[in-house]
């Protein structure tokens, strides 16, 4: 049973100047509105509201978001109104509650029949990221009580989470919500596979964790000798659904090749300490070829930053180490939610350190009518629900594109005029056709033709991104 006092205490720890009285009023209002209501599992409805608020507190959200989480179901599930919420708690809370309410109106029947709800979802993200964060928390808590529903509803709700909400959480870099959503939905969408992976992982992690305790002692002693004092060292177990995705590539017999099933995570004070720590690990243990990944110099498309290395440790066992600063750890877990902080008055303010241009560009094509319903759906699958790659300009700037993107997509990402005047491309210093599919790590140079007035209509056959296709069509229309 979740208690409001525990949530209030948690918020107080990360935001000492929080208005506890206002939080209490939010809880009292929600409790009164939902009085007498029971969930399908027999518990009081207010437990769901508290569950949502608890997840929001775990990612350290501001008091406005916590209150909106407590009240998010009042307009749809009770006689309470948005106007009452606005009068009692202000415009900001009412705006968030209304935004969450709008996202729940359409039942999931697959992406192609769900486009309008997805459009609302992305609009909400561009207007106020907190709306989608409340929705994530709502979905996680609903998954916790999914057992009481009939199988058809279980599958529909879990599939929506796995196919829509988890990829969006990943795209926003919120590893904590992504992992919770995926693992809780996994057992309903793929129950047999879930049982197999769970049994396999349970069997291995206990032995693995015991071994890593010994490695941790050796590591801490080695770091101390070299003058590095980590903030903390921990072992972390790979999420079940992520493990399942890797097993799909390797087969169940290849689980011993999943070296990060249980990995060591080292949190240090600075970026310089990250690289020094990496050097110390390689001094004591031999690294595996091609298993050193520098996501600090080259962050993942969702802004994930860390150093990864896989080494031969004691008795020839293979261990993955992840090295990062505390800020990197917070961003890996909380993504864009990590960019809320508190000023001297205790009020929250957003630090704009995460680039959401991709979302604005993605939405603009549909909003301006440049894309049809089918084209928008295809762009949706590419820009949000497909894996991403990062490629480089000749100066070393990182460009984030969907898998199978081409030099034309790259050119338009740089600038509309670069795209329009594109005449050829060098990929890794080799002249390459414009329809070539790029890979992560490629260095791309666009060759332009100064007097070129319009793009080729043939580019629409292989351009992948919404941005490129929208601008190509606009430029062709302008020439006509």
Whether 339 shows a pLDDT value over 80: the answer reads: no
One domain for residues 169 and 43: yes
Query: What is the Cα–Cα distance from 392 to 445, expressed in whole angstroms?
Result: 9
Tokens standing for residue 258: 């999943």
One domain for residues 184 and 204: no
Q: Does residue 237 form part of some domain?
A: yes
- pLDDT (tens digit, 9 = 90+) per residue, 125-156? 666 788 889 999 999 999 999 999 999 889 98
Most confidently predicted of 123-127, 351-355, 377-381 = 123-127
409-430 burial code (b ≥16 CB/10 A, e <16): bbbbbeebeebbbbeebebeee
One domain for residues 393 and 461: yes
Final residue of a domain: which of 189, 222, 246? 189
Q: Domain limits at 279?
A: 192-333
One domain for residues 470 and 414: yes
H/E stretch holding 311: strand 307-312
H/E stretch holding 343: none
Whether 111 shows a pLDDT value over 90: the answer reads: no
Whether 412 shows a pLDDT value over 80: the answer reads: yes
Q: Does residue 341 form part of some domain?
A: no
Whether 34 shows a pLDDT value over 90: the answer reads: yes
Query: What is the Cα–Cα distance from 187 to 63, expressed in whole angstroms?
Result: 33
Q: Does residue 117 form part of some domain?
A: yes
Local confidence band at 367 (pLDDT 50, 70, 90 cut-offs): very low
Query: What is the Cα–Cα distance from 400 to 97, expressed in whole angstroms?
Result: 33
Which pLDDT does position 114 carry in this prediction? 58
Tokens standing for residue 344: 């001297």
One domain for residues 171 and 217: no
Q: What is the CATH number of the domain that holds 22?
A: 1.10.3210.10
One domain for residues 25 and 87: yes
Compute the average pLDDT of residues 467-474: 88
Q: Does residue 291 form part of some domain?
A: yes
- Tell me which of 347 and 178 has the higher pLDDT: 178
Which pLDDT does position 386 carry in this prediction? 58
Local confidence band at 336 (pLDDT 50, 70, 90 cut-offs): confident
CA quadruple 382, 385, 387, 388: dihedral positive or negative?
Answer: positive
- pLDDT (tens digit, 9 = 90+) per residue, 427-469? 999 999 999 999 877 889 999 998 888 899 999 999 988 888 8
Whether 256 shows a pLDDT value over 60: the answer reads: yes
Final residue of a domain: which of 266, 298, 333? 333
Which pLDDT does position 108 carry in this prediction? 60
Q: Does residue 345 form part of some domain?
A: no
Tell me the pLDDT of the chain averaged across its residues. Answer: 84
One domain for residues 443 and 399: yes
Structural domain count, the chain:
3
Taking alpha carbons only, the member of 233, 243, 144 closest to residue 203 is 243
Q: How far apart are the first and last CA of the chain?
A: 66
Q: Does residue 159 form part of some domain?
A: yes
One domain for residues 185 and 208: no
One domain for residues 128 and 201: no
Which pLDDT does position 284 carry in this prediction? 92
One domain for residues 29 and 168: yes
Q: Does residue 340 form part of some domain?
A: no
Which pLDDT does position 195 carry in this prediction? 92
One domain for residues 181 and 205: no
- pLDDT (tens digit, 9 = 90+) per residue, 205-254? 877 888 889 999 999 999 999 999 999 999 888 899 988 888 887 665 55
Local confidence band at 314 (pLDDT 50, 70, 90 cut-offs): confident
Note whether 443 and 420 are within 8 A (CB): no
Note whether 46 and 34 are within 8 A (CB): yes
Q: What is the CATH number of the domain that holds 375?
A: 3.10.20.30
Query: What is the Cα–Cα distance from 195 to 36, expressed in whole angstroms?
Result: 37
Q: Does residue 346 form part of some domain?
A: no
Q: What is the CATH number of the domain that holds 246?
A: 3.30.460.10
Note whether 444 and 414 are within 8 A (CB): no
One domain for residues 30 and 166: yes
């Amino acid at each position: 049973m979740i208690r409001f006092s525990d949530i209030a205490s948690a918020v107080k720890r990360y935001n000492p100047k929080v208005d506890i009285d206002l939080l209490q009023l939010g809880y009292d209002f929600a409790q009164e509105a939902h009085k007498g209501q029971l969930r399908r599992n027999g518990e009081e409805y207010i437990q769901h509201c508290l569950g949502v608020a608890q997840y929001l507190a775990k990612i350290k959200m501001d008091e406005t978001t916590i209150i909106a989480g407590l009240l998010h179901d009042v307009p749809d599930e009770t006689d309470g109104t948005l106007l009452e919420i606005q009068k009692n708690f202000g415009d900001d809370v009412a705006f968030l509650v209304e935004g969450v309410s709008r996202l729940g109106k359409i039942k999931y029947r697959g992406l192609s029949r769900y486009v309008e709800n997805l459009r609302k979802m992305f609009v909400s993200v561009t207007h106020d990221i907190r709306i989608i964060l409340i929705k994530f928390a709502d979905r996680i808590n609903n998954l916790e009580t999914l057992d009481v529903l009939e199988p058809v509803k279980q599958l529909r709700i879990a599939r929506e989470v796995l196919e829509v909400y988890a990829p969006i959480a990943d795209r926003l870099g919120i590893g904590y919500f992504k992992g919770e959503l995926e693992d809780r939905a996994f057992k309903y969408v793929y129950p047999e596979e879930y049982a197999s992976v769970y049994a396999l992982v349970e069997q291995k992690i206990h032995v693995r964790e015991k071994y890593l305790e010994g490695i941790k002692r050796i590591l801490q002693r080695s770091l101390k000798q070299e003058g590095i004092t980590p903030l903390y060292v921990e072992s972390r177990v790979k999420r079940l659904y992520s493990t399942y995705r890797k097993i799909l590539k390797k087969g169940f017999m290849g689980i011993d090749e999943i070296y990060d099933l249980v990995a060591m995570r080292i949190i240090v004070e600075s970026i310089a300490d990250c690289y020094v720590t990496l050097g110390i690990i390689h001094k004591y243990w031999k690294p595996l070829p091609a298993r050193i990944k520098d996501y600090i110099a080259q962050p993942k498309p969702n802004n994930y930053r860390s150093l990864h290395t896989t080494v031969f440790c004691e008795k020839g066992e293979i261990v993955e180490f992840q090295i990062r600063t505390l800020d990197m750890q917070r961003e890996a877990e909380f993504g864009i939610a990590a960019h809320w902080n508190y000023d001297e008055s205790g009020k929250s303010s957003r630090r704009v350190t995460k680039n959401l241009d991709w979302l604005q560009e993605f939405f603009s094509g549909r909003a301006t009518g440049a894309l049809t319903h089918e084209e928008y759906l295809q762009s949706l699958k590419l820009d949000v629900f497909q894996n991403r790659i990062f490629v480089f300009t000749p100066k070393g700037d990182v460009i984030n594109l969907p898998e199978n993107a081409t030099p034309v997509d790259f050119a338009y990402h740089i600038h509309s005029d670069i795209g329009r005047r594109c005449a050829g491309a060098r990929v890794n210093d080799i002249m390459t056709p414009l329809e070539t599919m790029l890979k992560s790590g490629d260095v791309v140079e666009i060759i332009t033709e100064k007097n070129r007035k319009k793009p080729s209509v043939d580019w629409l056959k292989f351009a992948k991104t919404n941005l490129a296709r929208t601008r190509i069509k606009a430029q062709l229309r302008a020439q006509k």
